[in-house]
Structure 1
Amino acid sequence: METVGITEPLLDRDYQWLGSWFKKHPKTELWAHDAGGPDLTDLAFLRWFHDLNRLRLDLANLTDLNQLDHLPDTLGALDVGRSRREPSLRPLRRFAQLRRLGLERQHRDIDTVRELRQLEDIRLRSLTLDTLDTLGEMNHLRRLEIAFGGTKNITAVQDMSSLRDLELVQIRGFTDLGPAANNEHLGTLSVFGMPHAALPQDWTRARGLRTLTINTMKGVADLRPLTTAPSLVEVNLIAMQHLRPEDLRPLLDVPGLQRVWYGLGSDKKNHQAAAVLGHLAPRQWR
C-alpha cells in the first residue's frame, strides 16, 4: 500500500488536484500529519477527497472529527493518532463498511466502535479499556493489536471466533494470557515486553494456534505448558536472554512442532540451544 502525506495546509487548487488523483488511486492512503511547519488544525481539507478509501491522521491540534462527514460512507481504513485533546469518536459510526481501524490515545466515546460491525483489523495503542467487551460482538474481526496502555482484561478474546491474529505489546501490568490460550480459532499469537506474564498451563483448547512469538518476556521461564498445544507448528523466541539452552528442551515434546527460531543473547547459548533442539532449530537470533 502506498501513502501520500500532507504536512501543512495547501492551496485549494492543490487539494483539488490531489483529490482527483486519489480518485484514480483508491488503494493509496492519505496521511495528514505534523512535521514542524504550519500545522493542519482541522479536517476542512477533506472536502476535496470525496473518493478517499484510506486515511491516517497524526495531528496534535486536532479537536474534532466532525469533518470526516466529507468522506464517502465506503471508507475502508482509518487511523487516528494521538492529539492534545481527544475528539469524540461518534462521527465514525457512519462508516459502516470500515474494515481497518487504528486508534492511539483516543478514548472518548470508544463504545462507538461496537457499531462498526464489518471491522476486520483493529489496532489500539496507548489506550486503557476496562474490558474488550466492546469488540466481542464483531463477527468479522480477524486481527487485533493492543499496544501500550493498561488494558489488562482480555477475557473477551477467548470467545472471538473470527479472530486469527492477536498481538499484545508492552501492556502495563498485564499478566493473564489465558484468554488467548482458550481461543480455539486463533492462528497466530505474538506477545512482547510484558515481564509479569507467564505461559498458561493449559493450551489444549488452542486448536487453531500455528505460530507463537514470544519477545522479551522475562516472566516466561517454563516452556513445558506448550506441550499441551495440539497444533503448534512454529515457536519464535526473540531476545529471551534469561532462558538457558536447556530450558528449550520441552519444545521437543510439542506435537507437530516443526520450527523454533530463537535468540538467547549470545552465540554460545544459541549454539548450545541448537544442540538441544536438533532438527527444530533452523536459525538463531542473538
Structure 2
Amino acid sequence: MFEKGRIDIREPLTEKEILQLRNYTDLKVIQFYENLDPGIFTLLNDLVFSIRNDIALRAFGFYFADLTCDLSFLNRLPNLTHLQIDCCHHVKNLEALATLPGLKRLKLGVLNLDSFEILNNIPDTLEALCLGETRSRKPDLVCLERFSELRELFIEKHTRHIEVISRLTNLEKLSLSRISTTNVEFLQPLQKLWHLAVILGGISDLSALKGMTNIKDLELIQIRGLRDISFVSSLTGLQYLFLQNLLHIESLPPFDHLHKLKTLVLQNMKGLKDISSLASALGLEEFRQASVLHLDPYDYLPLLSNPSVKTVAVGFSSKHKHDVFQKLAEEYGKN
C-alpha cells in the first residue's frame, strides 16, 4: 500500500516489485511491521538503497509481548543511510546497528530498551537522531557527545546527562518532548540552533533562551507550569512562533524588536487575555489562532490595524463573534 510517501511491504515480494520501488519519486519511507525473509533486505540494499539514499527503512508495529523485531537483517544493508525503528516494545540483535557504515539518520523508539550503549558503536558521522520514550530511566545521553556532526535531535523523556547537548555545537534543530529540567542553560552554546520545539514536560523556566538571536523557529506546546515567555522579546532572529496550550500565559510579550517575525500561530491558549502587543509586530504577515476563549473580536484591533499583517484567521466558538471579526478583517483589508 502506497500512501503519502510511504509504502508497506510484506511477503511475498518479488525482485521485480522491489525494483519498481526506486522509481516512485515521491517515496520517502519503506516500512514493515513483521519479520521478513532476510533475502528481501539484500534486494532492497542492492536495487533500491544503492540508488535512493533519500528513502528511509522503517520497522514498526511490533506492539505485543510475543512480537519481537529481529534486527539481524541490518547486516544486509550497507547502503542504508536512514533507519527508523519505532513503535516497538521489544527488539533483538540490536548490535546489528553497528553494521551500517553509511548511517546518517536514526530513529530509535523501543519501549523496553534500557540502554543507549549501542550508540557508541554506530558511525559518529550521524546527522539526525531521534530517541523515543523508554520504560526504563536508565538510558544515558552521555553517548551523544561523540556525534559532533549532528544537525537534528529529538529526545523524549530522557534527561540523564542532558547537559551533553551543549557540546553538540553543530546542532540546528532540536525537539525536547516530555522533558523536565530546572532550566535550559545547556542550550546557550548552540549558536547554530535555529529551530527549537519544547513539547509537554515541565520545563517551567526558559529564561536561558534570552538573547539567542540565532533561533528562527520556536514552538512551545503544553509546557506544564510555564508562566513567563518574556524572553521571546529578545529573540531578534525569530521568524515563526507557535504557542499551544500554555494555560498560564495571559498576555503576549512585546514584539517591538522582532522585525523578522513573519508568522504567529496560537492554539488553545485558554488563559490569553491581552494581545495588544501585536500592534508592535511590524514584520508580522500572518496570524492564526484557534479555540479563542476570553477575547472578543474588537480585542484584535491592534492586530488588524497593523499595516504589515496580510493574512488573519481566528477561530471563535460563537458564530456571532466570528461574523463580527470577519467584517472587521474586511474593513481593515485583511485576507
> Quick check: TM above 0.5?
yes
CA RMSD after TM alignment:
2.3
Q: Distance in 2 between matches of 1:274 and 1:142?
A: 34
Structure 2 residue matching 1:123: 3-state secondary structure:
strand
Equivalent residue number for residue 172 of structure 1: 224
Paired residue type of 1:35: Y
| Partner Cα separation in structure 2 for residue 239 and residue 89 of structure 1 | 38
Residue 45 (structure 1) aligns with: 96
Deviation at 1:138, TM superposition (A): 0.8
Cα gap change, 1:97 to 1:164, in 2 (>3 Å): same
CA contact (8 A) 2:272 2:294 kept: no
Q: Which residues of structure 1 form unaligned runs of 5+?
A: none
1:49/1:201 Cα in 2 relative to 1: closer, same or farther (>3 Å)? closer
Structure with bigger RCO (C-alpha 8 Å, 6+ apart) = 1
TM-score normalised to the size of structure 2?
0.77
Other structure's SS at 1:227 match: helix
User: Runs of 5+ in structure 2 lacking a partner?
Assistant: 6-27, 69-89
- The structure with the larger Rg is 2
2:246 is aligned with 1:194:
yes
- Measure how far apart 1:281 and its partner are: 4.2
SS at 1:246 equivalent: helix
Counterpart CA distance in 2 for 1:152 and 1:18 is: 46
User: Match of 2:55?
Assistant: 28
CA shift at 1:243, angstroms?
A: 2.4
Query: How far apart are 1:59 and its partner, in Å?
Result: 0.5
SS of equivalent residue, structure 2 residue 292? coil
1:207 Cα deviation after fit: 2.2
In the TM superposition, what is the alpha-carbon distance from 1:240 to its structure 2 partner?
1.3
CA contact (8 A) 1:154 1:179 kept: yes
Aligned partner (choices 227, 236, 258) of residue 184 of structure 1: 236
Go from structure 1 to structure 2 and tell me whether the alpha carbon gap of 1:53 and 1:26 turns closer, same or farther (over 3 Å shift): farther
Which residue is equivalent to 1:232?
Answer: 284
The CA distance in 2 between the partners of 1:168 and 1:244, in whole Å, is: 24
User: How far apart in 2 are the matches of 1:234 and 1:69?
Assistant: 44
Segment drifting more, 129-138 vs 28-37: 28-37
Give % identity.
28
Q: Which residue of 2 aligns with 1:161?
A: 213
Q: Does structure 1 residue 243 correspond to structure 2 residue 285?
A: no
Q: Which amino acid in structure 1 is aligned with residue 269 of structure 2?
A: M
Cα distance in structure 2, aligned partners of 1:44 and 1:77: 19
Per the alignment, do residues 126 and 135 of structure 1 end up closer, same or farther by CA in structure 2, a change over 3 Å counting? same
Alignment of 1:271-282 (within 5 A): 271-278=323-330, 279-282=332-335
Higher mean alpha-carbon deviation, 22-31 vs 105-114, is at 22-31
Normalised TM-score (structure 1):
0.89
Q: Partners of 1:27 and 1:180 in 2: how far apart? A: 35
